[in-house]
Amino acid sequence: MEPNVEIRRLLDVMPASGRMTTKIVSKPEQAKVIDASFPQPWNQTRPIYINFDLWRCLAKPQRDLLLLQMVSWLTGVKWFKPDIYQGVVLVGMLGGLLEASQSDVVGVAIAGGLSAIAAFRIWRTNKSQESELNADAAAIRIAQRRGYSEAEAAQHLLLAIEAVAKIEGRSGLNFTELIRCQNLRAIAGLSPVGMPESYDK
């Protein structure tokens, strides 16, 4: 597989928003098939790293859905959307600056701690099982615009998750992957058991 040819093909599969914010990078030395770092608020470009030597072991529909899921997760991470935690980070930062200008060490420490706690909460929310399930659903919606049916897209993503674990030499799926696979089986019509209500957002 020629990485540059595959990258061009994958760019065509991506939605326009993904092409603007993400970048596909060949990384043959990594042990994972596909990977991305948690996007930081100051980084404009969000790279997706692919080991094309491992990537070639997947069927084309599986590669499409894996990429769409990763793009959906990366573009779904919102540091600056109006909600309580972003508000707390902003207030904490402004309070810290104000206290620093008045040389109030205790005030700076309190404001900094408040910002750190809220920032950690944002990070944890975007690394949760819910965010992965939302990315799966978004990937399936995009795949439907690329000619896949909902059931086909869910099945390809399910097979891709299972195949990646084998390719990477892992003994099994982690807890989040098991949750995702159960949800994808229900969407694909392969299982009558859907997600528990606590995960079905």
**pLDDT tens per residue, range 130-140:** 889 999 999 99
pLDDT tens sequence across 40-70? 777 778 999 999 999 999 999 999 999 999 9
d(CA 62, CA 110): 48
d(CA 14, CA 107): 46
Q: Report pLDDT for 92.
A: 61
The answer to the question of residue 100 being in a domain is yes
pLDDT-based confidence at residue 38 (cuts at 50, 70, 90): confident
The answer to the question of residue 176 being in a domain is no
Mean pLDDT of the chain: 83
- Domain count of the chain? 1
The answer to the question of residue 115 being in a domain is yes
Residue with tokens 């990078």: 25
Q: Report pLDDT for 187.
A: 94
25 forms bridges with which residues in the sheet?
Answer: 49
Q: Report pLDDT for 172.
A: 92
Residue 18 pLDDT exceeds 60 = yes
The answer to the question of residue 30 being in a domain is no
Q: What is the pTM of this model?
A: 0.76
| Token output for 169 | 């030499």
Any residues with CB less than 8 A from the CB of 165 and at least 6 apart, and which? 172, 173, 177
pLDDT tens sequence across 88-103? 555 565 665 665 666 6
pLDDT tens sequence across 111-123? 566 566 656 665 5
Q: Report pLDDT for 199.
A: 46
Q: Which uninterrupted H or E stretch holds 14?
A: none
Identify which has the larger pLDDT, 125 or 180.
180
Task: Give the domain extent around 98.
Answer: 84-126
